[in-house]
Each structure stands twice: as C-alpha cells, then as structure tokens.
Amino acid sequence: MVRFMSGGESHGSRLVCILEGLPAGVKVSSEFVNGELKRRQSGYGRGGRMKIESDRVEFLSGIRFGETLGSPITLSVENRDWQNWSERMSAEGVEVGERVTNARPGHADLTGAAKFARNDVRDILERSSARETTMRVAAGALCKIFLQNCGVEISSKVLSVGGVCGDDEIKNRIDEAKSRGDTVGGIFEVKISGVPAGLGSHVQWDRKLDAKFAAAFMSIQAVKAVELGDGFANAQKFGSEVHDEIFIRDGKIFRETNRAGGFEGGMSNGEDLIIRAAMKPIPTLMKPLRTVDIATRQPTTASKERSDTCAIWAAAVVGEAMAAIVTADAFVEKFGGDALCDTLANLKSYRERLAEDFGL
C-alpha cells in the first residue's frame, strides 16, 4: 500500500526516492521534513562528513500547494560532498582515482564485490553506506505527518552504547572508542503511540504486523537484532510473569503492563508499540582490522575511510522513519487511502465500534 524506493550513492550527486500510497489531502511541509533530516545528522560521535552535509529536501512530484495529491511523491536531497567527488563518481567518462581493494570485515565490501563482479570495492560501499537512510527519513517524515492526522506519535531514545547507559558514561565510551581508532554500537528504542487495536493480522505469516516491523528494522544498516516489547527478557520468565493481564473498569478494557510491546497474535493490541534494535559497531575502523586485498589476494589491513565513531542517534531517527512507513502502510491497508478524509472517517467509525462492542 505505502511503499518507497530510493536511489543514490553516498558520494553521488544526490539521493532520490519515490514514496507511493499516501492519501491525497495530507498537508505537508518541507520544514518538518528538513527538521527530521537534521535530527538524523546530529548525535555525538559523528564524523567529518556531517560538517559538510546540511540535508534539505526538494519535492519533485506528488505535492501541490502544500498538499499530497495521492500520486507518487518524488523527493530529492543533494550531496554537498559531490563537488569533491564529481570526477571519481562520474556517471560517464573513464575511470579516475584509486580503486579500493581492501575489503572491510563487517561491511558489504567483499561479498558485494564478488557477487556483482566489481574490482573496485567503492562500487559496493557507495550504496551500502548509511547515507542512503537520508531518504528513509525524508519518506518517513511524510508518513509521520499523515499519522499525526490519525492521532499517532512516534518517538525514540538511545538505551545504551557499547554496553553502558547514561549520558556521561555513553559520551566517555564514544571518546574512548575514538581515541583507540575504534567504533561502538548500541541499542535504541522506538515507541509508537495512538495505534488502535487490530492493525496487521494473525491469519497469514506475511500479514503479521510484528513481522513487518522486524523486517523494517533489520533493514537498517548495522542493525543485527530486533526485539518487540520485552522479547528477550520474557524468554527467561514464567508465562504468569510475562503476559499482560486484561482488566475492565467502567466498561473499558485496559492493561496495567505492556511487556508484549503492543503486539499480540501479529496484531497491534491498542497499547504503545515498542521496538528495540541492536546496532553493531560501524565496520570502518581508524585502526583497521586484518583482511585480504581483492586485487593481489595478499593479506593486508582494511581500507580506512573517513567515518563515524558511533551513529546510534542517527539510527534511532531512522528507526522512527521505518516505524512511520510500516505504520502508515498498516493504516492505509485497514482504513483505505485515496483521500485523507475517507481514511479518517473509516478510522473514526472503527474506533467507535471497538469502544462500543469491546470496550477497547
């Protein structure tokens, strides 16, 4: 229903994306999108690139006089760093610049080069770079605006970095990593509130809302584990300590706990949706690991590119964007989506039925 596809290399001229499926009549602004893009660019531990870029969106289609038309929305963000790369990343002409042949362990470099038959790892790393997440955030920002109309809010927080919690400890951990020429990962959490019970479905594996969230979060660069609610902790407890009991007061059904993270049977259950993701340390180390040169087949050390020490805050903002895209898709699937007024009317009557017939 709501889908998007992006294109663009990290040091190419620009990033683009087409977002399709949002209803017509959503009032959108580039200001909100730019605010979200700025949030993605901040956070402690980013590298030199963020001093160069100041991401701003351009709407190329699908929006007229500040309202969505229901047609595909084309978004574009310029890479300001392009001016330093225009020859090395030129779409036409002959090859210039040195090839990258030292594949970084933990990156797409080696397998990508082998699979796509490239002798320059740059042909792979340019697209596997998390620069691509710029467009996820731009598309996600428009989905967030649509969802605000539906009463849904999405937020995130960083829970830990390199195994430590708390602002000061986290900052020290990142400084420590940087001084060693190393990197650190972490865990972030996204919360979605205002979602009615009954998005997604229990009837088929590919209709389950929790599965869609897991896939969307796993697709974020460097994310290696996803948890819904207290997923991992729950596996160590008795059922009586895990399941969120159901109560009723004045005809209204409620829970006192949300260990399920708002998902039961592959559907939203009306509680806040809670998704956590674990991000591995970024594989570009200033003190590089051992690897093999794909040109000479000799042992060497990994390539060193300017990079970030920690990008967990950016990943959390990307998590919000992916959450917005998945949630918007689930709303459009359930409530229809040609015109916003119809989506909202359907949502209202559904909410009224749940309240009247089930106290939900």
The total number of residues written for the chain in this structure: 360
The nearer residue to ligand EPS, 185 or 262, going by C-beta atoms, is: 185
Residue 96, classified by CB atoms within 10 Å of its CB into exposed (0-12), middle (13-18) or buried (19+), is exposed
Residue from 160, 303, 307, 327 touching ligand EPS (CB under 6 A): that is 307
The pair of three-digit structure tokens given for residue 274, joined into one six-digit string: 């809670």
Give least dist CB 310 to ligand EPS, A. Answer: 11
Residue from 39, 122, 127, 131 touching ligand EPS (CB under 6 A): that is 131
Give least dist CB 58 to ligand EPS, A. Answer: 16
Under 8 Å CB-to-CB from 337, ≥6 apart: which residues?
Answer: 1, 2, 21, 22, 23, 70, 331, 343
Site pattern 51..90 for ligand EPS (x: CB under 6 A) = --x---------------------------x---------
- Cα–Cα separations (whole angstroms), residue 218 to 139, 277, 343: 18, 8, 29
Query: Which residues, numbered 8-27, are part of the site for ligand EPS (CB under 6 A)?
Result: 10
For position 47 contacting ligand EPS by CB under 6 A, the verdict is yes
Residue from 129, 160, 269, 343 touching ligand EPS (CB under 6 A): that is 129
- Cα–Cα separations (whole angstroms), residue 260 to 57, 268, 295, 333: 37, 10, 50, 23
Please answer whether residues 273 and 291 qualify as being in contact, where contact means their C-beta atoms are separated by less than 8 angstroms: no
The nearer residue to ligand EPS, 58 or 305, going by C-beta atoms, is: 305
For position 268 contacting ligand EPS by CB under 6 A, the verdict is no
For position 105 contacting ligand EPS by CB under 6 A, the verdict is no
The nearer residue to ligand EPS, 55 or 230, going by C-beta atoms, is: 55
Sign for the pseudo-dihedral over CA of 87, 89, 94, 100: positive
For position 130 contacting ligand EPS by CB under 6 A, the verdict is yes
Where helices occur in the chain by DSSP H, the ranges are: 30-41, 49-52, 109-115, 122-128, 133-149, 167-179, 209-218, 231-234, 239-242, 312-335, 340-358
Give least dist CB 222 to ligand EPS, A. Answer: 8
For position 308 contacting ligand EPS by CB under 6 A, the verdict is yes
Stretch that binds ligand EPS, among 16-24, 45-53, 56-64, 163-171 (CB under 6 A): 45-53
Report, in this order, helix, strand and coil percent for the chain, each rounded to 5: 35, 25, 40
**For 17, phi and psi rounded to 5 degrees?**
-155, 150
CA dihedral 21, 27, 31, 33 (to 10 degrees): -20
**For 219, phi and psi rounded to 5 degrees?**
-80, -10
Measured distance CA(36)–CA(92) in Å, rounded: 34
For position 138 contacting ligand EPS by CB under 6 A, the verdict is no
Stretch that binds ligand EPS, among 22-30, 58-66, 300-308, 321-329 (CB under 6 A): 300-308
The nearer residue to ligand EPS, 178 or 334, going by C-beta atoms, is: 178
For position 49 contacting ligand EPS by CB under 6 A, the verdict is yes
Site pattern 279..298 for ligand EPS (x: CB under 6 A) = -----x--------------
> How does DSSP classify residue 220?
S
Residue from 306, 338, 348, 358 touching ligand EPS (CB under 6 A): that is 306
Please answer whether residues 319 and 277 qualify as being in contact, where contact means their C-beta atoms are separated by less than 8 angstroms: yes
The nearer residue to ligand EPS, 76 or 134, going by C-beta atoms, is: 134
Query: Which residues, numbered 141-170, are part of the site for ligand EPS (CB under 6 A)?
Result: none
Give least dist CB 292 to ligand EPS, A. Answer: 20
Please answer whether residues 75 and 56 qualify as being in contact, where contact means their C-beta atoms are separated by less than 8 angstroms: no
- The contact set with ligand EPS (CB under 6 A) reads 10, 47, 49, 53, 81, 129-131, 134, 284, 305-308, 314
